[in-house]
Amino acid sequence: MATFTERLSEAVQMKRTPLLVGLDPRWEQIPAALRESAGDETPLSKAAVYMQFCRDVIDVVAPLVPAVKPQAAFFEQLGPAGGAALAEVIAYATSKNLLVILDAKRGDIGSTAVAYAEAYLGREASAWGADGLTVNPYLGDDSLEPFVEVAQERDAGIFVLVKTSNPGGATFQDLTFDGAPIYQHVAALVEEQAAKTSTEGGYGCVGAVVGATHPEQLVDLRDLMPHTWFLVPGFGAQGADASDVAGAFDARGLGAVINSSRAIIFAYRREPYAETFGEGAWQQAVEAATLHAIEQLQAATSAGQL
């Protein structure tokens, strides 16, 4: 199997877009007809709806984008039934030739970190079958090493939290130490690991999560991390537009995947899609919102030359 970065680059170029669709099933925002089909609101019934909703989204976006990003928390809140639904969603996305980056923000040390990495990373080698995983680095460099090693062994990838999109991220990430903010120290460690694992395409299996809500810092981090794929949240519902993420890309239009979740999967709830499609045609709204996001990224970033 090709490395994760090779497969990611190939998928982005084949679909001619870096758009990543987040799968964040929120019960209150799922179309009423699907919710009513559950019959009740037990965890088992909700999990079945989450699975069907995500499969329906995947059916729409699979021809259009290179990857999806399930958010583990929304499944985990339903307990074992939610875990089973998440596994089905990952397997279904894989069957549709999508890369799957699981957003679970795991992090630990020693054998526990190894267990997390082995649980999630690797399409065929792991229990969950994800191609990539988000990782929290704040336990230090030894907490990252097991994830890097397993990712290399299994042709998978990790995305380390460097500069997150939420306002509160500045509480710790922007603190200055030794003349630089903490997030730049994390970036240096991530870039070191990315460079060590880089392939002919120039990128390694260790990526960074860098928020679209910090466009100037995004530009600086692209310069600081030339071997690092970026996973960029904050585009769409969190307020960032396509011009804000332009600095994430290299000159070829590669090096970043741009996540949009609520703005796409619940597009039927907002204008102009609410009036045009409505709840009864929510999948058509997903398609229209996806195509619009693709057009925005093509127009405002170097991804337009893919």
Q: Which residues are catalytic?
A: 105
Q: Which residues contact 237 (CB under 8 A, 6 or more apart)?
A: 260, 261, 262, 263
How far apart are the C-alpha atoms of 23 and 262, rounded to whole Å?
Answer: 8
The residue to which tokens 């609520």 are assigned: 262
Question: What is the pairing mode between strands 19-23 and 67-70?
Answer: parallel
Among left, alpha and beta (phi > 0; psi -120 to 50; other), residue 96 is alpha
Instruction: Return the closest-CA partner of residue 56 out of 83, 88, 78, 17.
Output: 88
How far apart are the C-alpha atoms of 236 and 239, rounded to whole Å?
Answer: 6
Instruction: Return the closest-CA partner of residue 287 out of 265, 259, 260.
Output: 265
Neighbouring C-beta atoms of residue 306, cutoff 10 Å = 18
How far apart are the C-alpha atoms of 208 and 142, rounded to whole Å?
Answer: 17
Contact 104, 69 (CB under 8 A): no
How far apart are the C-alpha atoms of 280 and 71, rounded to whole Å?
Answer: 25
How far apart are the C-alpha atoms of 141 and 1, rounded to whole Å?
Answer: 28
How far apart are the C-alpha atoms of 172 and 138, rounded to whole Å?
Answer: 10
